[in-house]
Structure 1
Amino acid sequence: MPNIASILKAEISRVARKEVRSEIETLKKASVAHRSSIAALRREVSGLEKELRRIAKGSARNAPAANPEVSESGPPRRFSATRLAAHRGKLGLSAADYGKLVGVTGQAVYNWEQGKARPKTEQLQRLVAVRALGKREVAELLNAE
């Protein structure tokens, strides 16, 4: 006949494991629910941060800045050295000829294209005007001079 103490010990262990297992199952379910809600909150925060950046970017664009390239009669003008070089190449003009159209020297145009200098506000406005001209109009202007 088995020892009653060992049987009692085995039964107590079995019941304790059963109780612990049931407690652990509820904890696991709660943990899964918490992780799920944490992930949802992270996604929501990420979405709100993106929206905030988009709004801040939009308000920065719309806010008047102390930028010297802002003309009083229109939107701010941006300058791109590569765009200038591409436009001059498209028109087939030398830097000196392009400079005549803008009212500067050929060296100034070259420096703008190389990124060594940037045009002033009034020069930027003249660049915008030249940008609107086609090949024929440019040829007529250069021949008239």
Structure 2
Amino acid sequence: MPNIASILKAEISRVARKEVRTEIETLKKASAHHRASIAALRRQVEKLEKELRHALRVSARVSPAGEADEGESGPSRRFSATRLAAHREKLGLSAAAYGKLVGVTGQTIYKWEQGRARPRKAQLEGLASVRGLGRREVAEQLNAE
């Protein structure tokens, strides 16, 4: 005949395992739910960060120096590196002299002509004013300075 103490011990262990299993199941379900909500929040944060980067790129492209009002400042200016180089050659000026007319350095003119940099809006206005000058006016302005 089996020992009553061993039977009692086995039954207590079985009931304890059953109770622990039910508690663990509820904890597993809660943990899975929390992991799913954390993953959803991470995806949402990544999506919002991506939208923010895109919006910053678009706003930087639209108004490079924080200048949003184009209507008050006049017409928008276009820039072409090859046309800048051609105009400088036509006037027979060095990059330093051309830069002096525009209000920038000769190195900046070289970078613009090579396409490694682009002029800001105020500098585009300076380029437009120089574009309207002939050789004599350019020589006069350079001698005056």
Which interval holds the TM-score relative to the shorter structure?
0.5 to 0.7
Measured on the aligned residues, the alpha-carbon RMSD in Å equals: 4.3
Residue number in structure 2 paired with 1:38? 38
Q: How does 1:1-145 map to 2 (within 5 A)?
A: 1-59=1-59, 61-62=62-63, 65=66, 72-75=73-76, 84=81, 87=82, 98-101=87-90, 105-108=93-96, 111=107, 112-114=109-111, 120-125=123-128
Amino acid at match of 2:29: K
> Structure 1 CA distance, aligned partners of 2:127 and 2:64?
21
**Structure-1-length-normalised TM-score:** 0.53
Where do 5+ consecutive residues of structure 2 fail to align? 99-105, 113-117, 136-145
- Three-state SS of the structure 2 residue aligned to 1:74 is coil
Equivalent-residue separation in structure 1 for 2:4 and 2:55 (angstroms): 76
| Residues 53 and 30 of structure 1, relative CA distance in 2, 3 Å threshold | same
How many pairs align?
Answer: 114
Structure 1 spans left out of the alignment, 5+ residues = 131-140
* CA distance in 2 between partners of 1:44 and 1:73 (Å): 41
Distance 2:54 2:129 in 1: 33
TM-score by structure 2 length?
0.53
Paired residue type of 1:106: S
CA shift at 1:45, angstroms? 2.7
After superposition, give the CA deviation of every residue in 1:74-127 in whole Å (9 maximum; x if it has no partner).
23667xxxx73xx26xx9xxx6x64254x5722336632257xx9744442268
What is the percentage of aligned positions where both structures have the same residue?
51
For residue 9 of structure 1, report the CA deviation from its aligned partner: 0.7
Asked whether the 8 Å contact 2:88–2:94 carries over to 1, the reply is yes
